[in-house]
Amino acid sequence: MIEVQNLKKSFQIKSKVLGVEKGVVNAVNGVNFRIDKGETLGLVGESGSGKSTTGRLILRLLEPTEGKILLEGKDISTIGNRAFRKMRKDLQIVFQNPYSALDYKMTIEDILIQPLQIFKIVSPVDYRQEVGRLLNMVGLTKQDAKKFPHEFSGGQRQRIGIARALSTKPKFVVCDEPVSALDVSVQSQILNLTMDLQEELGLSYLFIAHDLSVIRHVSNRVAVMYLGKIVEKGPVDTLFDDPKHPYTKALMSASPLPIPGRQLGRIELKGEIPSAMRIPSGCAFHTRCPYKMGVCEMTPPQMIALEEGRTVACHLYHEGVQL
């Protein structure tokens, strides 16, 4: 469904603003992955690793600096805006914050009718019926259509956000931390809703989160991102049960998620994630890696396949070192 090849995004900061120096921010720095039809790829990493920027690049909410984005084999990264508008309905997003994602001046009916009008999903005489169908799909009722966003809880607002994303009958949806702003008791309801809708509608998801328990619950495969690069990819259970990259190991060790049969002591990473304006030479993780070697400081590691569907970018595996 989706494939990205050598995807890059740099931001030029031309003047000092709020303490940020002038320079180039390399937010996404050569990302490659694919997402098959009906599949969920979980994208995980620390804040500032480039996860949300990657999602917005795929949707062309941001324009890539370099690289290709393929939708069902067609390169959509270079087509003009007019041609891309016709494809916009196939690519949608569920935003992180349901409190700011809905226009407080509009009724729910107006919010859901807007994409129906833009993309001519149904005829005008069927707008209200379609709004009712969308609300029922996400666990609300047609009586809710006349209400305003402030009359709903956070979980209900996120259901409306999901309904809006699905109103165009998309093929692919970016879920950008869709439950991080919700209470734990509500998170599972929204996660189960997204999974039920995926099965019912055959959707493909890029699911962005920093909560590893969420990623394991919803994903088929997982990609681990650090400072703009993918450092490890693999099937969800394989990656969680046996993480290979030192960064993945550190993330897993910091998670309270219980993993039966695995003993993994806490791995403390020294220092903060480096600035995307000053990415370290060689392996970007070497400044915090407890296993770094001399080669790590000078040479960027290449992604290698350890087994079918399992890849890692780390010199330790080029050198045959066993962690």
Answer yes or no: pTM beyond 0.85. yes
Give the model confidence (pLDDT) of 185-206 as tens digits: 888 888 999 999 999 999 999 9
- Give pLDDT, residue 321: 58
Compute CA distances 140 → 135, 145, 222, whole Å: 5, 9, 31
End-to-end alpha carbon distance in the chain: 35
Under CATH, which architecture does the 2-103+170-318 domain have?
A: 3-Layer(aba) Sandwich (3.40)
Task: Look at residue 316 and give its three-state secondary structure.
Answer: helix
pLDDT above 80: residue 19: no
| Separation CA 316–CA 3 (nearest Å) | 28
Torsion sign, CA atoms 206, 209, 210, 216 = negative
The domains of the chain are located at 2-103+170-318
For 323, which DSSP code? -
User: At 304, which helix (H) or strand (E)?
Assistant: strand 303-307
How many Cβ atoms are within 10 Å of 165's Cβ, its own excluded? 24
Of residues 3 and 264, which shows the higher confidence score? 3
- Give pLDDT, residue 91: 94
- Give pLDDT, residue 258: 55
Compute CA distances 13 → 28, 53, 200, whole Å: 15, 16, 44
pLDDT above 80: residue 119: yes
DSSP secondary structure, 222-268, as one string: EEEEETTEEEEEEEHHHHHHS--SHHHHHHHHH-----TT------P
- Give pLDDT, residue 225: 95
- Give pLDDT, residue 270: 76
| Separation CA 34–CA 3 (nearest Å) | 4
Give the model confidence (pLDDT) of 30-88 as tens digits: 999 999 999 999 999 888 889 999 999 999 999 999 999 999 999 998 888 888 888 88
